[in-house]
Amino acid sequence: MRNAIKMISVLTIVGLISGAALVLVYSYANPLIEKNKKNEMKKAIFRIFPDGKSYTGETVDEVDVFRVKNAEDTFIGYAFLAEGNGYQGVIEMMAGISPDMETVVGLEILDSQETPGLGGEIATDKFTSQFKALKAAPEIAYVKNVKPARPNEIQAITGATISSRAVVTILNETIKKIKGKLK
């Protein structure tokens, strides 16, 4: 009996001390983690909108959308978070679109697990710069192995068609989702 009491009390004490330690660590770390996440989004938004000075956030149909304003407080476009399935996992991205929702302003890949060197190239400037001033009407399209001929086309990465196509599909779907709701 004494043995059982000793076992239970040791476990309980260790459990309680560990629990207390974790609560402390959590209260220290959580605000920092939230700040990190906000910073990451802020950096992405301002990389897409170099003239942007401030933004306000809202959620439309489960999509996080940000209205970006420049230094003169003029509304210069929307930034939104989009995500979907790529080749190896979920791709998370931040995209910018003009106020009339016709032209894509830019693209930043936030998180992807695509194959490094192949699908992973979607995160490089070489790929994402194609999305600056890209027409989104009727929708974004991609071509393979040729230079894009129309203003709404981008060129897929050689050897990474699936990843490139995933980015295009995710963008189109998200734009469609928010288009009606924001005007």
Q: Tell me the C-alpha to C-alpha distance, in Å, between residue 138 and each of 59, 60, 82.
A: 24, 21, 19
Number of H helices, E strands in the chain: 3, 8
Whether the upstream peptide bond of residue 50 has omega within 30° of 0, thus cis, is no
Closest CA to 119 of 82, 153, 88, 81: 88
Between β-strands 153-155 and 141-143, what pairing exists: parallel, antiparallel or unpaired? parallel
> C-beta of 93: minimal distance to other proteins in Å?
15
Cα–Cα distance between 123 and 88 in angstroms, integer?
A: 14
**Which positions from 26 to 55 touch other proteins by CB under 8 A, shown as an x/- string?**
x-xxx-xx--xx--x---------------
Question: Least distance (Å) from other proteins to the CB of residue 55?
Answer: 21
The least CB distance from residue 62 to other proteins, in Å, is 13
Residue from 60, 101, 118, 141 in contact with other proteins (CB under 8 A): 118
Stretch that binds other proteins, among 65-73, 81-89, 93-101, 135-143 (CB under 8 A): 81-89
Instruction: Give Cβ neighbours of residue 149 (< 8 Å, ≥ 6 apart).
Output: 143
Shortest separation between residue 71's beta carbon and other proteins, angstroms: 28
- Select 6 or 181, whichever has its Cβ closest to other proteins: 6
Q: Would you count residue 180 as binding other proteins (CB under 8 A)?
A: no
Q: Which is nearer to other proteins, 25 or 137 (CB)?
A: 25
Complex with other proteins: residue 116 or 151, whichever CB lies closer: 116
What is the separation, in whole angstroms, between the first and last Cα of the chain?
72
| Contacts with other proteins, 148-167, as mask; x by CB under 8 A | --------------x-----
